[in-house]
């Protein structure tokens, strides 16, 4: 871990902030932010994290996760609280975010897939994705009217 990033004008922070603004920014940068303890742990566990962003106040809480990420060669960045809050959609950020590669378009990956047509609530899409995972489905197809997962 390097120094604590404290500026919203930091070039890397500007890129991370853009990822929450639009799908086009996520596609352009090939990245998305996985917010919160559970999502960050899963990203590191599945070796999908490209960077781990931690609130300086949560350094001790996520020390083991940071060590695991570092052992995989993942860059760990310490952020001031106001920078972390600027990156998060959550009203009360948990203090950790994984920066992950944006998923490529889904090709036919087997007989078990779900198609969504115009689902607007990202929370509903998250529930569908978790249910699919539990049931062993392999792909999710979405139209342009569906919210960004």
E-strand ranges in the chain read 31-35, 51-55, 75-79, 96-101, 113-116, 139-142
CA angle 32/38/41 to nearest 5° reads 75
User: What does the pLDDT read at residue 65?
Assistant: 97
CA atoms within 13 A on the CB side of 45: 7
pLDDT tens, 94-141?
Answer: 999 999 998 765 434 555 778 888 888 888 998 998 998 888 887 787
Tell whether 71 and 34 lie within a shared domain: yes
Q: Residues 43, 49: contact at Cβ < 8 Å?
A: yes
pLDDT tens, 48-90?
Answer: 999 999 999 999 999 999 999 999 999 999 999 999 999 998 8
Residue 16 reports pLDDT greater than 80: yes
Residue 17 reports pLDDT greater than 70: yes
User: What does the pLDDT read at residue 30?
Assistant: 86
Q: How far apart, in whole angstroms, are the C-alpha atoms of residue 55 and residue 58?
A: 5
Domain presence at residue 32: yes
CA 133 to mean position of chain CA atoms:
17
Instruction: Indicate whether this model's pTM tops 0.85.
Output: no
User: What does the pLDDT read at residue 64?
Assistant: 97
For residue 106, the tally of other CB atoms under 10 A from its CB is: 12
Q: What average pLDDT score do residues 139-146 get?
A: 82
* CA nearest to 31, candidates 105, 104, 81: 104
Domain presence at residue 4: no
Domain presence at residue 21: yes
Q: Are strands 113-116 and 139-142 parallel, antiparallel or unpaired?
A: parallel
Tell whether 39 and 84 lie within a shared domain: yes
Domain presence at residue 3: no
Q: What domain range is 43 assigned to? A: 11-101
User: What does the pLDDT read at residue 111?
Assistant: 58
Domain presence at residue 137: yes
pLDDT tens, 33-51?
Answer: 999 999 999 999 999 999 9
User: What does the pLDDT read at residue 7?
Assistant: 95
Domain presence at residue 61: yes
Tell whether 19 and 78 lie within a shared domain: yes
Tell whether 128 and 82 lie within a shared domain: no
Q: How far apart, in whole angstroms, are the C-alpha atoms of residue 147 and residue 118?
A: 7
Phi, psi of 108 (to 5 degrees): -60, 115
């Amino acid at each position: 871990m390097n120094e604590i990033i404290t500026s919203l004008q930091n070039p890397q922070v500007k890129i991370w902030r853009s990822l929450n603004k639009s799908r086009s920014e996520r596609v352009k940068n090939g990245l998305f932010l996985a917010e919160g303890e559970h999502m960050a742990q899963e990203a590191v566990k599945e070796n999908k994290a490209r960077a781990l962003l931690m609130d300086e106040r949560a350094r001790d809480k996520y020390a083991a996760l940071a060590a695991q990420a570092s052992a995989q060669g993942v860059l760990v960045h310490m952020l001031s609280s106001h920078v972390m809050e600027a990156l998060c959609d959550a009203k009360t950020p948990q203090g950790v975010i994984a920066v992950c590669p944006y998923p490529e378009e889904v090709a036919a990956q087997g007989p078990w897939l779900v198609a969504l047509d115009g689902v607007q609530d990202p929370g509903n899409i998250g529930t569908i994705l978790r249910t699919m995972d539990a049931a062993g489905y392999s792909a999710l197809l979405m139209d342009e009217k569906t919210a960004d997962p």
